[in-house]
Chains A and B, each alone.
Chain A
């Protein structure tokens, strides 16, 4: 994975045209991997190897890849439940991600979190959170923590937190409380609305006021904003990167209405009666992955058709191996894991049933 692109530089200096070929090809590789991973996830889900709720990211790949490209590896990130793409693009191995969904001890949360709860401490991914909007105050807190660290404790550096949310979370009170606090306390959290047009089955204009002017929500809290097309990873980066740099430098919040689209249903159990096949097909015509591949092969000319095919083949292979890894991994044992990780300091008499204990070390640690 090459998602952790190091692109230091002043505002406007690091625009995509000026990035190395490796970087922009790396973006495509990430997008291809996410797509292949999600296709495999869907079939594993259909085979009942994955349980619970499962939300597929296909169609939105550029959103996460382009925004991650504009930040540092140690900038904290937090997101909602459609989180497989975020985990992979942050650098989580497909093995560990798939194993989590299979409920195995080798998963990122040792099989205790599942599809909606991807946590990756080494890659500064603070979850996957299942309750709509719950991650938005948390995102403010991660940014607050980073700011506090250098401002009060005199260590660390200026960071931003990327806090992703779906357009459905726009109407949760938690977000509005969080945005107000971010505004009042000047907290460097950037709320990225992955606006795919639907909160589950409700089209955005049926559930959200000013659906075509979401930036007004940010204005209400004195937060600077951008509305960005999320279908072209390069132009997304070009617009987002300078925005991030300024917010990082001035340590204040931001808001992005990032237009995107999901091709699959809200979750795996969604018959999608709320939209037409033509609508989906229309969006697929401007597919973010095809567009970037075309750009690299035909416009920028840094990628051959063979190399692209090779990339796709590699991704398929990687994902196949991830499934094999997940299948071959052991389930968490009841004795070792059911009552572990409940308390960091598991004292006596916390439960009438039995004592808590520490379990096995997380595979990512």
Chain B
């Protein structure tokens, strides 16, 4: 028998090589969200990757059309020119192959960024991304981790029909060992992606084709948005609206409309799903007594179910009304415009859900 069991140091895990997370600051100390350096969401993503690639030679980008084509959605435009073909790599259409390959590269010591043109296409890579990446550290008894970022478009809204409109958050967030970030705006897209690249664990980074052209001020300076800290986008005392990703925008629209009727919603953008900043949700619920969770994935065993369960577990006594969820309709994503817009958790449905809780 071993006489003494040596503990792993809390900061330096031997399984993932050198890693260093930046010192995170409070939201109030972050660079301002107001300003005139207005760029697109896709440019914010590109800045995050380019900055981290300049900083760390271990970081490379691989995916379908990321190099010569400049990205199927132009996220990686110009990166081939700056970093060369050894670090910006066009892959064949083999999600299982290149995702699995990058897991090996991450174990070897590199920091791969794997772009899925759409998260819908990641389903053929389920074994590497779910069965290998998040479990490697555990399965090897702490010998090898998997510092890797999988990123791509998630969610419906472009009339792409059912197979191309996946919201993978509920399906994948179920697996322990991975982290999941889902920015709703350009500022967070940059700050969260930089954190994702620096984090030593596998990060599933969910973007949205519908948001890539969104514009906002993004600071030029380096900043990192910490995982596990929700942002209060709008303060209110009537109802807590919890969301993440693109539906945060619908929540803000709904909150604006409701304010006109005298109902002040507090809107929380979770920013990461795993870790989930339940503390901020509870803090808000203590004030409002009401919670509506808006989630673009399906309702059955979804993220909204998880948030509501945790609210009930930790804040049941503060609730004045049963929690309410607004999800995508519980059907495969339809093609027709009218059906698709009814399918999504739109502003109208959010307004109705809020009214139900305060009515």
Chain A residues within 8 Å of B, Cβ to Cβ: 76, 78, 105-113, 117, 119-121, 126-127, 129, 131, 134, 136-146, 148-149, 151-153, 161, 173-174, 177-178, 180-181, 184-185, 328-330, 336, 340-345, 347-352, 358-365
Contact A177 B96, beta carbon cutoff 8 Å: yes
Contact A341 B144, beta carbon cutoff 8 Å: no
Across the A-B interface, the 8 shortest Cβ-Cβ residue pairs: A141-B104, A137-B100, A177-B97, A145-B108, A109-B141, A110-B141, A138-B104, A177-B94
What residues of B have a CB within 8 angstroms of the CB of A344 in the complex?
13, 15-16, 19, 137, 145, 147, 200-201
- What distance in Å separates the Cβ of B315 from its nearest Cβ neighbour in chain A? 13
- What distance in Å separates the Cβ of B131 from its nearest Cβ neighbour in chain A? 6
What residues of B have a CB within 8 angstroms of the CB of A110 in the complex?
141-142
- Answer yes or no: B32 CB below 8 A from chain A CBs: no
Q: Closest A-chain residue to B137, C-beta based?
A: A341
What residues of B have a CB within 8 angstroms of the CB of A106 in the complex?
1-2
Contact A345 B57, beta carbon cutoff 8 Å: no
- What distance in Å separates the Cβ of A81 from its nearest Cβ neighbour in chain B? 12
- What distance in Å separates the Cβ of A363 from its nearest Cβ neighbour in chain B? 7
What residues of A have a CB within 8 angstroms of the CB of B274 in the complex?
350
- Answer yes or no: B338 CB below 8 A from chain A CBs: no
Contact A349 B102, beta carbon cutoff 8 Å: no
Interface-centre pick from B8, B109, B141 (highest chain A CB count, 10 A): B141
- Answer yes or no: B21 CB below 8 A from chain A CBs: yes
- What distance in Å separates the Cβ of B293 from its nearest Cβ neighbour in chain A? 14
- What distance in Å separates the Cβ of B149 from its nearest Cβ neighbour in chain A? 14
Q: Closest A-chain residue to B132, C-beta based?
A: A134
Contact B313 A352, beta carbon cutoff 8 Å: yes
Contact B96 A119, beta carbon cutoff 8 Å: no
Contact B97 A181, beta carbon cutoff 8 Å: yes
Interface-centre pick from A119, A137, A139, A347 (highest chain B CB count, 10 A): A137
- What distance in Å separates the Cβ of A304 from its nearest Cβ neighbour in chain B? 38
Q: How far is the CA of A358 from the CA of B7 in the complex (A)?
A: 7
Q: How far is the CA of A4 from the CA of B100 in the complex (A)?
A: 28
What residues of A have a CB within 8 angstroms of the CB of B8 in the complex?
340, 358-361
What residues of B have a CB within 8 angstroms of the CB of A137 in the complex?
96-101, 103-104, 128
What are 12 inter-chain pairs, A to B, with CB distance below 8 A? Answer: A105-B2, A105-B5, A109-B141, A127-B144, A134-B131, A138-B132, A148-B60, A174-B97, A350-B228, A352-B310, A359-B8, A359-B142
- What distance in Å separates the Cβ of B37 from its nearest Cβ neighbour in chain A? 30
What residues of B have a CB within 8 angstroms of the CB of A144 in the complex?
101, 104-105, 108
- What distance in Å separates the Cβ of B11 from its nearest Cβ neighbour in chain A? 9
Partner of B105, one of A119, A142, A177: A142
Q: A141-B104, A344-B19, A363-B2 are in contact. List 7 more A-B contacts (CB 8 A).
A: A119-B140, A126-B144, A138-B132, A177-B92, A341-B138, A349-B275, A362-B140
Q: Closest B-chain residue to A352, C-beta based?
A: B310
Q: How far is the CA of A231 from the CA of B19 in the complex (A)?
A: 45
Contact B139 A180, beta carbon cutoff 8 Å: no
Partner of A343, one of B5, B108, B177: B177
Interface-centre pick from B97, B104, B142, B143 (highest chain A CB count, 10 A): B104
Q: How far is the CA of A252 from the CA of B347 in the complex (A)?
A: 55
Contact B104 A126, beta carbon cutoff 8 Å: yes
- Answer yes or no: B14 CB below 8 A from chain A CBs: yes
Contact A343 B141, beta carbon cutoff 8 Å: no
- Answer yes or no: B262 CB below 8 A from chain A CBs: no
Contact A151 B97, beta carbon cutoff 8 Å: no
What residues of A have a CB within 8 angstroms of the CB of B100 in the complex?
134, 136-138, 140-141, 174, 177-178
Partner of A140, one of B5, B15, B104, B310: B104
Contact A139 B104, beta carbon cutoff 8 Å: yes
Contact B144 A174, beta carbon cutoff 8 Å: no
What residues of A have a CB within 8 angstroms of the CB of B2 in the complex?
105-106, 329-330, 363
Partner of B275, one of A126, A148, A329, A348: A348
Contact B176 A342, beta carbon cutoff 8 Å: yes
Q: Closest B-chain residue to A143, C-beta based?
A: B104
Contact B107 A142, beta carbon cutoff 8 Å: yes
Q: Closest B-chain residue to A355, C-beta based?
A: B275
Q: How far is the CA of A340 from the CA of B131 in the complex (A)?
A: 18
